[in-house]
């Protein structure tokens, strides 16, 4: 059967499967007949517990693993052809870099690998170093970088040839909350620029903030897929968050809701999130340090 590939899909898989032979008699199922589509210009979150097949999916999409069954296409092209990957940037889950190169040299190195040279390359290196917030550390060797700083360099190298599609395997692993928010904002910026992003992450709040659609894998199978807003909307309930009403007015409204046949399931002051509290506190700390 030939795969129907529409021009608007960045990634498309059909029955994509990968079995790993771990001993003579044992095989492990990495991915089991995955069918899914990532449309152009969407941010798609691939979620799932450890070992559910997220990284295996990415490696199959990049042609780094040979599928046991099925196939994957990038922009309509079978991933077996090298040219399918020309417009794809990849951040692996454990990026490996030369520790004696500086941040800037690393990004330049990857730019050269993609055939970039001269002024265009230098401009791109500076732009990316600034984009991932490593200007102050650009001349330091990677051997002395923290985990989050390495992750940022990984993102910069993934974007070096200005790819149409980015495959990000845990971009926020080891990154502090502020760094994670910067990466989230960067993903939103890239989406605005028209990029397509496949994101694997365990930070569900962030996934909720940036992804248009998500898919949840378990034991190598897709067990739930859909539009994030749609999946999270409780259609049988409705909520108001009210400001400026007296206790008495609130009680009156509460009684009216009861009279109309409604039932109040929760009431009280909404809580802020730990993320908001953390950011507020750290920013105040920054201001104190700068004497503001």
Residues that bind ligand ATP (CB under 6 A): 20, 22, 28, 30, 48, 50-56, 93
The residue among 52 and 84 lying less far from ligand ATP, judged by its C-beta, is 52
Q: In the complex, what is the shortest distance from the CB of residue 169 to Mg ion, in angstroms, rounded to a whole number?
A: 6
Complete edge-to-edge strand list for the sheet that includes strand 196-200:
88-91, 165-169, 196-200, 43-47, 213-218, 221-227
The residue among 20 and 98 lying less far from ligand ATP, judged by its C-beta, is 20
The residue among 93 and 176 lying less far from Mg ion, judged by its C-beta, is 93
Site residues (vs Mg ion, CB under 5 A):
54-55, 93
The residue among 39 and 202 lying less far from Mg ion, judged by its C-beta, is 202
The residue among 55 and 106 lying less far from ligand ATP, judged by its C-beta, is 55
- Pair 16, 170: CB distance under 8 Å: no
Q: In the complex, what is the shortest distance from the CB of residue 54 to Mg ion, in angstroms, rounded to a whole number?
A: 5
How far is 54 from 60, CA to CA, in rounded Å? 10
The option from Mg ion, ligand ATP, none interacting with 52 (CB < 5 to 8 A, set by class) reads ligand ATP
The option from Mg ion, ligand ATP, none interacting with 106 (CB < 5 to 8 A, set by class) reads none
The residue among 13 and 55 lying less far from ligand ATP, judged by its C-beta, is 55
H/E element, 13: strand 9-21
Q: In the complex, what is the shortest distance from the CB of residue 50 to ligand ATP, in angstroms, rounded to a whole number?
A: 3
- 110 backbone dihedrals φ, ψ, rounded to 5°: -70, -35
The option from ligand ATP, Mg ion, none interacting with 201 (CB < 5 to 8 A, set by class) reads none
| Residue number closest to Mg ion, CB atom | 55
The option from Mg ion, ligand ATP, none interacting with 98 (CB < 5 to 8 A, set by class) reads none
The option from Mg ion, ligand ATP, none interacting with 51 (CB < 5 to 8 A, set by class) reads ligand ATP
- Pair 163, 114: CB distance under 8 Å: no
Q: In the complex, what is the shortest distance from the CB of residue 203 to ligand ATP, in angstroms, rounded to a whole number?
A: 12
The option from Mg ion, ligand ATP, none interacting with 56 (CB < 5 to 8 A, set by class) reads ligand ATP
Q: What angle do CA 212, 65, 98 make, to 5 degrees?
A: 85
Q: In the complex, what is the shortest distance from the CB of residue 43 to ligand ATP, in angstroms, rounded to a whole number?
A: 18
Q: What is the DSSP string of 206-259?
A: HHHHH-SEEEEEETTEEEEEEEHHHHH--TT-------S--HHHHHHHHHHHHH
Q: In the complex, what is the shortest distance from the CB of residue 33 to ligand ATP, in angstroms, rounded to a whole number?
A: 14
- Pair 58, 167: CB distance under 8 Å: yes
How far is 107 from 110, CA to CA, in rounded Å? 5
Alpha-carbon separation of residue 78 from 60, 74, 144, 172, 280 (angstroms): 11, 6, 40, 30, 47
Q: Where are the beta strands (DSSP E) in 75-150?
A: 77-78, 88-91
The residue among 14 and 54 lying less far from ligand ATP, judged by its C-beta, is 54
Q: In the complex, what is the shortest distance from the CB of residue 112 to Mg ion, in angstroms, rounded to a whole number?
A: 28
């Amino acid at each position: 059967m030939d795969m129907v590939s529409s021009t608007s899909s960045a990634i498309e898989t059909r029955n994509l499967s990968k079995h790993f032979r771990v001993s003579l008699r044992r095989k492990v199922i990495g991915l089991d007949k995955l069918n899914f589509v990532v449309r152009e210009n969407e941010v798609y979150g691939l979620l799932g517990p450890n070992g559910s097949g997220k990284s295996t999916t990415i490696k199959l999409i990049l042609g780094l693993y040979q599928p046991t069954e099925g196939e994957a296409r990038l922009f309509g092209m079978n991933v077996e052809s090298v040219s399918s990957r020309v417009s794809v940037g990849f951040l692996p889950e454990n990026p490996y870099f030369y520790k004696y190169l500086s941040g800037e040299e690393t990004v330049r190195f990857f730019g050269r690998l993609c055939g970039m040279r001269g002024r265009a390359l230098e401009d791109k290196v500076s732009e990316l170093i600034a984009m991932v917030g490593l200007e102050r550390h650009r001349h330091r060797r990677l051997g002395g970088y923290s985990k989050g700083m390495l992750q940022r360099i990984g993102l910069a190298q993934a974007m070096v040839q200005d790819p149409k599609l980015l495959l990000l395997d845990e971009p926020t692993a080891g990154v502090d909350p502020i760094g994670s928010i910067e990466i989230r904002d960067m993903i939103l910026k890239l989406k605005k620029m028209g990029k397509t992003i496949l994101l694997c992450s365990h930070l569900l709040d962030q996934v909720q903030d940036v992804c248009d659609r998500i898919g949840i894998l378990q034991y190598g199978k897709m067990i739930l897929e859909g539009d994030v807003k749609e999946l999270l909307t409780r259609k049988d309930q409705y909520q108001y968050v009210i400001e400026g009403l007296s206790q008495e007015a609130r009680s009156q409204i509460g009684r009216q809701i009861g009279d109309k046949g409604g039932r109040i399931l929760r009431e009280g002051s909404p809580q802020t999130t730990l993320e908001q509290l953390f950011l507020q506190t750290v920013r105040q700390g920054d201001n104190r340090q700068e004497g503001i």
